[in-house]
Structure 1
């Protein structure tokens, strides 16, 4: 009798373990998404991004970073203009007057501190690509796993210098990647702007699906007209990546959040407010 009870107890315990495990995997993965101010500036001539259109016209640009609270931990997407620019009274002027003159109204460090998040709290991070307005603060998180496309990681910088410190932990991707293994945060390979450019699909429990563009597109008119910036490394890849995003937006019934589009960002909630 004792043996029967013991066996029944073991079986019940095993069943409960399975149920609890199933319940855990069924939890909403992403809990919150914060939009951080990672730079503001003025683009001198937006025809750089849409050749043949708006010659000589300037436009206000913004630079967003995104902090994601997942059940498994914190994840940061892009790191913006270097925090050091916040101490420059005149901002960071570009060598090319047609490019963007950046300012840093708030540091990334201060915004994380406001949320009670320390650099060591991050479980992972990724950058859309390696242009300075997206990787300015990568080394604020020296021990955090960095997810980047292999093609981007191996793309030589000026004077053939590496784009990241060799000692920074990295996962080199070759295509799309499910960050947490539950489909809630997926890195999308969208090359063209740079060799290993990537975008991010985030599935929020209440807001729904959102695609963070990176620089696969720079502003709404650029997206609507499928404009390919003159500085992009590959026009065909750029157009294919835009098509990939378009199809995913339809399939996932997702919103497209365009990283540098000030008009759109002005309609969104900024940290410490969040989307869930």
Structure 2
């Protein structure tokens, strides 16, 4: 009997070791959710001095991440209410983007069996409405946002989130779960407190979710800064920070609004692990 007992004790020791604990932590999978589809009649807003009058299609992605410690949502997309608008959300500025909502965020979460109360945490890349449209679908979920973004006055100096929403204000990068697998990166420039997300997946490897630090591949490759960004210098510095992160982590860059890239990706209920 001594040998089987010895093996059992050894197995227990292995399971209780720090190495085993590390293996049981981390990001397990990532779902790409369709959080809006849009069209602009003039892409030159994003490429100053170029592409005058050229139309372009955009997408808007949200990302649901399953971590060993719980679910985490990155960005919430265009408001689900837009799904019921026959002509989409038409802006006052004719050069801005007309957004549509083919699938609601609520329906996609329901398909995956995830309830709003299941979220351990959430974050938005920034506070433009195509990224914050459904924040209040999760009224009790901790929201991670840069302090500079949170305090940035909204329309008519109104707050950008409900004061009752739980929030953790950041002043830089944050290792969300403390294990290096999900790291919020401070990347200001598009807005005062813009942020991106580094996700380390066990099989896919490292992925950086851009937010609007860059809008599409051509802008990334040429380091073009949209005219509406609050700071050209900060935007350029943030692009360099992302480039350095990609090199260091051997990561892929997933550009939030780039339709050509997203058309080649797996969308929920498929996932990346």
Deviation digits for residues 142-189 of structure 1, max 9, x if unmatched?
000000000000001011100000010000000000001000000000
User: Aligned runs of 1:201-220 on 2, under 5 Å?
Assistant: 201-220=198-217
Alignment check: 8 A CA contact 1:79 1:134 kept = yes
Q: How much does 1:25 deviate?
A: 2.6
Within the candidate set 155, 174, 177, 1:177 is matched to: 174
Q: TM-score, normalised by structure 2?
A: 0.94
Deviation digits for residues 33-58 of structure 1, max 9, x if unmatched?
00000000102211101101111111
Gaps of 5+ in 1: 1-11
Within the candidate set 38, 47, 56, 1:41 is matched to: 38
Show the counterpart of 1:87: 84
Q: How much does 1:30 deviate?
A: 0.6
Q: C-alpha separation between the residues in 2 aligned to 1:129 and 1:231?
A: 14
Show the counterpart of 1:244: 241
Q: How much does 1:19 deviate?
A: 3.0
Q: C-alpha separation between the residues in 1 aligned to 2:242 and 2:48?
A: 21
Show the counterpart of 1:230: 227
Q: C-alpha separation between the residues in 2 aligned to 1:144 and 1:89?
A: 31
Within the candidate set 120, 124, 133, 1:123 is matched to: 120
Q: C-alpha separation between the residues in 2 aligned to 1:251 and 1:111?
A: 33
Show the counterpart of 1:132: 129
Q: C-alpha separation between the residues in 2 aligned to 1:250 and 1:89?
A: 44
User: Aligned runs of 1:69-108 on 2, under 5 Å?
Assistant: 69-108=66-105
Q: How much does 1:17 deviate?
A: 9.4
Q: C-alpha separation between the residues in 2 aligned to 1:230 and 1:47?
A: 9
Q: How much does 1:255 deviate?
A: 0.4
More displaced stretch, 21-30 vs 186-195: 21-30
Alignment check: 8 A CA contact 2:25 2:179 kept = no
SS in 2 for 1:172: strand
Alignment check: 8 A CA contact 2:15 2:21 kept = no
Q: How much does 1:26 deviate?
A: 3.1
Q: How much does 1:98 deviate?
A: 1.0
Q: C-alpha separation between the residues in 2 aligned to 1:177 and 1:120?
A: 23
Q: C-alpha separation between the residues in 2 aligned to 1:67 and 1:176?
A: 20
Alignment check: 8 A CA contact 1:28 1:205 kept = no
Alignment check: 8 A CA contact 1:73 1:123 kept = yes
Q: TM-score, normalised by structure 1?
A: 0.93
Larger radius of gyration: 1
Aligned length: 264
Show the counterpart of 1:143: 140
Change (3 A) 1:254 1:17: closer
Alignment check: 8 A CA contact 1:30 1:203 kept = yes
